[in-house]
Amino acid sequence: MSPISAAIAGSAGPPTFSWGVHAHHGFTLLLCLLGTTLPPWLEVEGAVAILLGEAGSLWITITLLRPTRTNFLLRLLTFFASRLCAVPIAIDVLRQCESPLTFYPLLAGVAGLVYDNVRTLLRMRYHARQAAAGGGVAEHGSWPL
């Protein structure tokens, strides 16, 4: 077993696939594809919303590789702060969309991301509290979110 897989799933076994961890990649891909249909004045705003979301997810990887109490707290805070900034930008982009062919798929993508992110934040909060209390955070066979 590699050190990375041990950091992900604990030393008791290999990691299993987790839809919740990977779902945001599908939503991000959809939003990037839809971004190509935005009018020029919205392209930068849409790109910033996507970049903020991805930047907030970076601490997930850091925490997987080094699961400390501080990293669990930073992961929760950076994820939350990035979503707090990105969602209003995405809503503003939706507000300015002129074509229903762009608006409705974009709305579905943003709604899916918000739903996925709320579930992820609740899971992160649980593990941040566990880490702060000195408890173990890696569950065998699950991704420690």
State the pTM of this model: 0.65
The three-state DSSP-derived secondary structure of 83-138 is HHHHHHHHHHHHHHCCCHHHHHHHHHHHHHHHHHHHHHHHHHHHHHHHHHCCCCCC
- Region 86-111: mean pLDDT is 88
**How does DSSP classify residue 32?**
H
Within 8 A by CB and 6+ apart from 46, the residues are: 31, 35, 38, 89, 90, 93
Tell whether the model's pLDDT for residue 144 goes beyond 80: no
pLDDT for 67-79, tens place per residue? 888 888 888 888 8
pLDDT tens digits along 18-56: 565 566 677 778 778 888 888 888 888 888 888 887 887
Q: Give the pLDDT band of residue 107 (cuts 50, 70, 90).
A: very high
Q: Which amino acid is at 27?
A: F
pLDDT at residue 139 is higher than 90: no
At residue 104, does pLDDT exceed 90?
Answer: yes
Top-confidence residue, 139 or 49: 49
Under DSSP, is residue 38 helix (H, G, I), strand (E, B) or coil? coil
Which residues lie closer than 8 Å to 2 by C-beta, 6 or more apart? none
